[in-house]
Amino acid sequence: MTHRDEDGPGRPDRARRAVFGEAAEEYDAARPGYPAQLFADILEFARHGAEGRVEALEVGAGTGKATLAFAALGVSVTAIEPDPRMAAVLARHRADRPGITVRPGEFETWDPAGRRFDLLFSAQAWHWTDPEVRWSRARSVLRPGGALALFWNDWYITDEPLRRELAAVHDRFLPERPPHSILDERPRESVRGEHAWVTAELRADPAFTDLGHRVYSTTHERSTTGIAALLTSLSFYRAQPEDTRRRLLAEVARTVDAHGGRVDLMTTTALFLARTWN
C-alpha cells in the first residue's frame, strides 16, 4: 500500500512527504500543537531509570511544535528533520531556547555516533518512516529501558450539517475524499486507535515492552481563513493540482462563511508508548 498522509503503515511516499516544505511557514502557523498533559505524561514515562536531564531524539521534527514543548520542560532534544525548509523554521524558533539541536537528514540514515537516548518521540511523523527499518533503528538509538512515544492529532468537525456540506464540496472537485480527515463522521475508529497498526507492529517486535495507549481530547475554533490554512497544511491537499486546490478551498471558504465564518473542531490526540528491555 502506498503511504498516505497520516494514514496507515505502508512504505512512505517520499515525494508526498516533501510537499510540507513547500509551505513551511504556513504549515507552522496552521498546525495546532498538542495537549500539555501529553508532554507531562511522556516525561514521567521516560524518567523511568533515567538520571538527571532527559536526553531525547525527535524523529520528523517539522517546525518544532513538539520540540519546543519538550524543551520548555527541561528536556534536551536532538531534532531530526529531513526537509531543510522545515528545519530552517525550527532552527529560527529554537534560537533563544537552550537544549535543542537541529539535525537535517533522514532518521533511517542518520548517524548517532554511538549516542543512546532516554526517549525517542515523534509527533505526527512516524508514519513517514520506513517500516522495514524504523523499529530496529529506534532500538539502536535508545538506551536499555529507554522510552518510545509516538503521537498524532485527529480533527473532527463538530457541526454535522457543516461537515456534510464540506464533504459534498469535496465530492464536486475531487475524484476521492482525503483519507482520514476532518470530513469523516464521528464517532469512527481512528487508524491510531488502541488496536491500530502502531500497536500491532510494536507487539510483533520482542524488543519492546510496557506498551501503552492514551487519548487526549481538546477543542478549538477555526476561522474561515484558519480552516483553509489547516487543510492546505495537509499533504493530500498540497498534492492536488494548483487550480483544483484553489477552487476547492474557495468553495470551502464560501461554505464556512455561510455557517458564520467559523468551524469548531474537536481534536483527539493518540499517544503510543513503549519501552526497550533493560
* Max avg pLDDT among 110-119, 176-185, 226-235: 110-119
Domain residue spans of the chain: 14-153+189-219+268-276
Enter the C-alpha cell of residue 252: 470551502
Would you say domain 14-153+189-219+268-276 falls under CATH 3.40.50.150? yes
End-to-end Cα distance, the chain: 35
Would you state the pLDDT for residue 51?
72
Local confidence band at 195 (pLDDT 50, 70, 90 cut-offs):
confident
Residues 6+ apart with CB under 8 A from 218: 35, 266, 267, 269
Would you state the pLDDT for residue 29?
77
Higher pLDDT: 17 or 198? It is 198
For the chain, the average pLDDT equals 88
Do 122 and 67 contact (CB within 8 A), yes or no? no
8 phi and psi angles, rounded to 5 deg: -80, -165
Average pLDDT value for residue range 74-93: 93
pLDDT tens figures, 153-178: 988 999 999 999 999 999 999 999 88
Checking if the pLDDT of 5 tops 50, the result is no
Checking if the pLDDT of 18 tops 70, the result is no
Do 116 and 146 contact (CB within 8 A), yes or no? yes
pLDDT tens figures, 243-268: 999 999 999 999 999 999 999 999 99
Residues 6+ apart with CB under 8 A from 224: 253, 256, 257, 261, 262, 263
Q: Rounded to two decimals, what is the model's pTM?
A: 0.88
